[in-house]
Amino acid sequence: MIVGVPREIKPDEYRVAMLPVGVEELTEVGHQVLVEAGAGQGSGLTDAQYQAAGATIAADAAEIWARADLVVKVKEPLPSEWSHIRSGQTLFAYFHFAADEALTRAVVESGATAIAYETVRDPRGSLPLLTPMSEVAGRMSIQQGAKFLERPQGGRGVLLGGVPGVAPAEVVILGGGVVGSNAAKVAAGMGANVKILDVNLDRLRHLDDSLPPNATTLYSDRHTVREAVEAADLVVGAVLVVGARAPRLVRREDLGRMKPGSVVVDVAIDQGGCVETSRPTTHHEPIFIVDGVVHYCVTNMPGAVGRTSTYALCNVTLPYVLQLANLGWRAVAEKDPGVAAGVNVHEGRVTNQAVAKTFGFPYVEWKDASTDRG
């Protein structure tokens, strides 16, 4: 099989979808790997390292899209890439389809098979390919929130951990999953007063046992959310509904009750955001202000720490890439329900129920959408 690794073109995206060791493992079992020139530069990986591992360096992305049977990426294809996607091709990347109808339609119309990292499950039902980037994003959310609380950045001028004699910041985290728990650990470790909200009481019990005393767990309902964000200096949106659009927990009307210069870091922006006023931003222009509240809504937060993120991501994706290359996606999906859960689009059909419901597409089981092509 020909496996292609194009350079990521999303603004300020420094990750790459494969390490040289991945190239070596694929080529050792007979596959050909095409890597676009400069693809690893943002993560400190050179073309020479990829060549030494057995890759063929492609001069541009067009060659990869034209030749590869399996295209491995980090982020979703951007509009300039859509015309290159072809029927019979398999794409393996973060897609977050429920946040982008145009992308969904483009991949449907291409006839390709899209396997989304964010909906692949392991035998325990967790999300192994989303977890490492959620860990990075959760920890980064506090770094970025602390920075934008500084007055020159538009914030309230609050030091997250306070100092003796001055109260620390109030941090509210909406969602107690991987992003939320990692955000809570960092915020609590910096000395902030932390409230973490979730609707899963078992999860709240676990967090209550594992977090330090300056972190409090709260059951999430409309009144609790409203009261919590009203008192907050920093709000982290960490809500995830797998494959679906994030629920909007903070409404526009709530901003008027928040402290002027308070900060929202909406990590859920990849899935549409959990704050009504959120819209996607970039690392180059990360914030905007609505009703006096600073909004940080960067859609590829882990891309800023490309080296850490690339290694964390490829550690978990490589075993799947090897299986897909060795067996073909259909054979892998047939034996592994977790991989089958990752198949979001196949040959012009939406095969993820949450995505289909979001945009009104007919939902088809991936097996029913399949033909003899692998």
User: Catalytic positions, please?
Assistant: 96, 270
CA 127 – CA 118 distance, rounded (Å): 7
Helix, strand, coil share (%) of the chain residues, nearest 5: 40, 20, 40
CA 128 – CA 138 distance, rounded (Å): 16
Half-sphere exposure of 141 (CA within 13 A, CB side): 36
Q: Which long-range contacts (CB under 8 A, 24 or more apart) does 216-219 make?
A: 217/176
CA 107 – CA 29 distance, rounded (Å): 30
Q: How many CB atoms lie within 10 A of CB 209?
A: 8
Q: How many CB atoms lie within 10 A of CB 69?
A: 18
Cβ(338)–Cβ(120) below 8 Å: yes
Phi, psi of 194 (to 5 degrees): -115, 135
The residue type at 109: E
